A and B are shown apart, each in its own frame.
Chain A
């Protein structure tokens, strides 16, 4: 992202483009990576509702995976996933990256 001069940006800190947080890739912030187990998942979508980064990917109303370019690794998905299901495992990013 090239930084612009004060003459090139909207005044007052206005962000004119809606939803442009999508272009801000926050995945590199992660310390822990949520690993999703498709076998265990019951598709209740509690994780999708709670995810602050809209990083739970759906297709036809069912969970299909995690958007790691935006997932910050906050672990809310793992907490919100029903205890009887526990479809997420939080793994240290350094260990996950090796696998």
Chain B
């Protein structure tokens, strides 16, 4: 029996964390994540959760404490955004390399400078090679659902990798939406108990964590991480299906919205997908064959699903909310081109950069993108051609 709630994205994340009740939550506040941990701290103060909340002096310490607790065999969560994620950087890699299934909501925010607190994806796109799984959320409902699923994905013995659940700063984190949550019992049964294979606390069978690992074995350990990430694809899909049976909301690596017969497809991540769906619905009533490809899992990247979803499109617009300076196009665009290379596709692919520092993207912007796609179909678009949405001339 679902509970219908009216929550901000941050409160939706805190609600999921309340129901998961991790053993340890480490925390350092940063806008726009602050209210998430503020809410969770209320649950701790009110005795609604048993979690040990560790308040630290920086994000570097927040992730370090998370790594320590996870090495001790605890189920661990933390959360951050933008510059906080940047300060964690060193330990973010170590969490993945030590195969610690930490779950971390990241509230997407532009990296400084100039200083800006609003949404773009420069923070999480910057750490796409850290070895963390990355799930992007479209709205508060998905924030909640993704966090509950992330626990099972991270802790799967074939995966054992940390997971970032990302959602757009302010646009999702501070916007009140109606969403459905599981009953507490349903949620706690769903996540179950976590038993770490190795624990620093196990003095009966002691092991060494994080030893020096030089030319003779480091490469092999990286190969294992590749394997864990490869395995994550099937696990994300199976967990998404199982969650569908429980909640009525099934998730995959991607969401292909009206793409089956679409001539023109927009590819996007996060809250922009909600905006794009409205435009797709409107244009469909006008007889236009348009669709949206939403990428939910950016790491691992769903190559096969994307190739299938874009197969019959005449033209595709890839929307990037972050810059890869000096590269031909944004990070999502590059991945799409790489996925399609060698498939013999004839689709015209256009890269759009949008929304940096929280610059709004409207229904009309996305409509204009679809209209531009109609004019480029059949043309070869240079890989380094980037168009801008909402940028003054």
Give the B-binding residues of A (Cβ under 8 A).
3-6, 9-16, 18
Contact = CB atoms under 8 A, between A and B. Distances in A.
Contact of B160 (A4, A11, A13): A11
By secondary structure, the B interface counts as: loop
Contacts of B213: 13
A27 B264 CA distance: 69
Interface in B187-218: 198, 205-211, 213, 216-217
B220 interface: yes
B208 A15 contact: yes
Given A6-B220, A6-B224, A9-B220, A15 B97 contact: no
26 contacts: A3-B216, A3-B217, A4-B220, A5-B220, A6-B220, A6-B223, A6-B224, A6-B227, A9-B217, A9-B221, A9-B224, A10-B198, A10-B207, A11-B99, A12-B100, A12-B160, A12-B221, A13-B98, A13-B209, A13-B217, A13-B221, A14-B198, A14-B209, A15-B211, A18-B205, A18-B207
Given A18-B206, A18-B207, A12 B99 contact: yes
A14 B100 CA distance: 11
B228 interface: yes
Chain B contact patch, size range? 20 to 34
A6 B208 CA distance: 18
Interface of B: 97-100, 160, 198, 205-211, 213, 216-217, 219-221, 223-224, 227-228
Contact of B97 (A3, A4, A6, A13): A13
A24 B160 CA distance: 30
Contacts of A12: 97-100, 160, 209, 221, 224
Contacts of A15: 207-208, 211
Given A4-B220, A13-B209, 17 more contacts: A6-B221, A6-B223, A6-B224, A9-B220, A9-B224, A10-B198, A11-B221, A12-B98, A13-B97, A13-B211, A15-B207, A15-B211, A16-B198, A16-B207, A18-B205, A18-B206, A18-B207
Contacts of B205: 18
B207 A11 contact: no
B77 to A, nearest CB: 19
A18 B209 CA distance: 11
B208 A14 contact: yes
Contacts of A16: 198, 207
Nearest to A8: B220
Contacts of B216: 3
A5 B219 CA distance: 10
B206 A11 contact: no
A13 B207 contact: no
Nearest to B100: A12
Contacts of B219: 6
B3 to A, nearest CB: 38
A10 B207 CA distance: 11
Contacts of B97: 12-13
Contacts of B209: 12-14
B317 to A, nearest CB: 40
Of the candidates B98, B210, B221, the one having the most CB atoms from chain A within 10 angstroms of its own CB is B221
B318 to A, nearest CB: 34
A5 B210 CA distance: 19
A4 B327 CA distance: 38
Contacts of A13: 97-98, 209-211, 213, 217, 221
Contacts of A9: 217, 220-221, 224
Of the candidates A9, A10, A14, A16, the one having the most CB atoms from chain B within 10 angstroms of its own CB is A14
Nearest to B223: A6
A15 B217 CA distance: 12
A36 to B, nearest CB: 30
A18 B203 CA distance: 10
A18 to B, nearest CB: 5
A44 B65 CA distance: 40
Contacts of A10: 198, 207
Nearest to B209: A14
